[in-house]
Amino acid sequence: MNLETPKKFRGLVTQAHQVAAHYFRPISRKYDKAEHAYPQELDLLAALLDGMNAGSPDAIGATSASKRGAALELAPGNKNGGNLSALLGVMELCWGDVGLLLAMPRQGLGNAAIAAVANDEQLQRFAGTWSAMAITEPGCGSDSAAIRTTATKDGEHYVLNGEKIFVTSGARADSVVVWATLDKALGRAAIKSFVVEQGTPGMSVARLEKKLGIKASDTAAISFVDCRVPAANLLGNPEIDVQKGFAGVMETFDNTRPLVAGMAIGVAKAALDRTRELLKKHCKLDYSKPLFSVTHAEATLYRLEAEWEAARLLTMKAAWMADNKLPNSKEASIAKAKAGRMANEMTLKCVELAGALGYGEDELLEKWARDSKILDIFEGTQQIQLLIVARRLLGKSSSELK
C-alpha cells in the first residue's frame, strides 16, 4: 500500500497549490464581502485550466471524475486516474477558497454528473459546457428519491415541471443537470437526469440565496414550468429499470461525494496551517513529547492533525476505488461524513485556538469556519451519509432502513 501522492500527479498538485495561494487567496475576502458578484478573475484562470487539461483524462476539475475510461481496460493492476487527480486538485484549490472553486466556470458538480452517466455522444456534445446540478426541492432535501419535479415525454422532448432550490452556480452556469421523475408511481427507478441549457423557455431563476459562507458562489432557486427539453438531453439510458432502480443516477454521488470531501480537507488544511503558524509564536511544537506533558493548545492541534489525516486517507481511498471501477458507494459516504464533520470541528476549533485573531476579519480563519459548514450539508447531509453506510454494512435497502 502506497499512501503518497502518485508521482504523475505531483506537478498538478503544485500548480493547483500555486493557483490557490497566488490567485484565490488575494481575492478571497473581496468576494466574500461582495456576495452574488461574479469573480471576473476566474475567466482567465478557467481558460488556463482548460489548456492544462486539454486531452487529459487526469485533469484538475470535476469533468474528469468518472468510472469510465479506456485506459482502465488495458492492463490489470493499480490505476490512478481522473477521480484521484480531480480530488487532489480540489483539495489544493480549496486550501485557497472553497467559494471561488465552486464559482469556477466548467467545473460545476453538474459536470461530474455528465462525466458519470452520459453516453459517448453526450460526452462529446456537452464537452466544454459549465453545468450546475439541481437535486434539492422544497420539502425534499437529503432524500433524493422523494423528488417531485416531473418529466413527461412529448414526442422528441420531455416537459419538465417543478422547482429546485440551493443550485450551486444555478444562475451562472451554461446549463443545469436537473433530476426529475418520469413516473412518481415507480419511485426511485423512474428518476433521471436532464441537461437543461440556460435560456430554455419555461426555465427561470427565481432568486439567489444569501448564505452563511461560500459567498463567491451563487446559489439559486430555479423553477420549471412546461419547460421543453430535447429527449437527447436525458443523460444515459432513458429506459426505466425497476431492478436496477436508482443506481444509474446515484453513480453521480459515488464520484462527487469524494470531491466534496476533498473540499472539506482543503479548507481544513488551510485553517490548520494558519493556526500552526500562529501557535508557533507562543509555544514550541514538539511531537516527541507525550500529550499529557504539553499544553492544551498543542494537544488539541495534534489531535486535529490526526483527524485531518484520517479524513484525507479515507477520501483518497474512495477516489482510488472509482478509478479502479470498484463499487465505492459506502466508501464515498464514509469519506464525505468524516471529512465534513472534521472540517466543521477543525475550522471552529482553529478560530478558538487563535483567540481574538481567529474571530476578526484580519485573518481568514473566521471565513473558513463559515465556508466549512456547507461541506457537511450538500451532496447529502452527515445524517444521510451515516444512514447509507449503515445500509451497506447491514445489507439493508432504503425501505428496510430509514
Positions marked active-site: 379
How far CA 269 is from CA of 74, 307, 345, 382, in Å, comes to 36, 11, 12, 20
DSSP per-residue string spanning 39-102: -THHHHHHHHHHHHHTT-SS-SSGGG--S--GGGGT-SS----HHHHHHHHHHHHHHH-HHHHH
Beta strands 203-208; 219-230: pairing state: antiparallel
Q: What burial class does residue 57 get, using C-beta atoms within 10 Å of its C-beta: 0-12 exposed, 13-18 middle, 19+ buried?
A: buried
Is the Cβ–Cβ distance between 203 and 227 less than 8 Å? yes
Which cell numbers in the block locate residue 3?
A: 499512501
How far, in whole angstroms, is CA 66 from its chain's centroid? 13
> Rounded distance, CA 75 to CA 351, Å?
48
Count other C-beta atoms under 10 Å from residue 201's C-beta: 9
How far CA 29 is from CA of 39, 104, 126, 267, in Å, comes to 12, 16, 33, 14
